[in-house]
Amino acid sequence: MADVLLFHHALGQTDGFLAFADALRSAGHTVHAPDLYSGRSFATLDEGMANARSIGFGALLEQGVAAAEGLPDDLVYAGFSLGVMAAQRLAQTRAGARGAVLLDSAIPLGEFAPDWPAGVPVQVHGGEADEFFMDEGDVDAARAVVEAGGDGELFLYPGCGHLFADASAPAHDADAAALVQQRVLDFLARV
């Protein structure tokens, strides 16, 4: 079983995010899900992003990195959207990473380290109707990460918008979310 450090998105720890974490736990994995918003959650991306800006993206990233302190080295780092910042940084820079799961976002190689670390498998999930993922460079970053890692998978979901795997998000797609969950569980079973 895997030990997972899972970071929430700009909406915070929504019911859908918590349900995703619980599904991984139900499959026998240990999931650490730090709350970088101190209990606050938001109904819209505009509200959530305003909150993230008020905290500061750098501060959120550092809080996420600090959340790994005291946890085992062989973690799988996972994040939804905004949470990908910390997940990807830790996967690229913290020794012993077991794998990474990036949902709704990917950061260009070179932001945290020049390359993807050898031997660290990665899985990236994004919606084809997600303007953030498709139009702001995330899909290109995802392709580069998957290619650089040598053991990566990129899954694109037709018709799906931003945060489609979160059952409480406006763009939720139940069928695609179930497929994401199954693919993540398969990934965790093999890393």
Domains and their CATH numbers in the chain? 3-190 (3.40.50.1820)
pTM above 0.85, yes or no: yes
DSSP code, position 81 = G
CA distance 38 to 23: 23
CA distance 148 to 98: 16
Determine the pLDDT at residue 149.
79
Comparing CA positions, the residue from 78, 92, 100 lying closest to residue 151 is: 100
pLDDT tens for 142-185 read 999 999 978 999 999 999 999 999 999 999 999 999 999 999 99
- Show the tokens assigned to 155: 């899954």
pLDDT tens for 89-136 read 999 999 999 999 999 999 999 999 999 999 999 999 999 999 999 999
pLDDT tens for 128-145 read 999 999 999 999 999 999
Residue 49 binned pLDDT confidence (cut-offs 50, 70, 90): very high
Comparing CA positions, the residue from 126, 73, 89, 122 lying closest to residue 7 is: 89
Residue 63 binned pLDDT confidence (cut-offs 50, 70, 90): very high
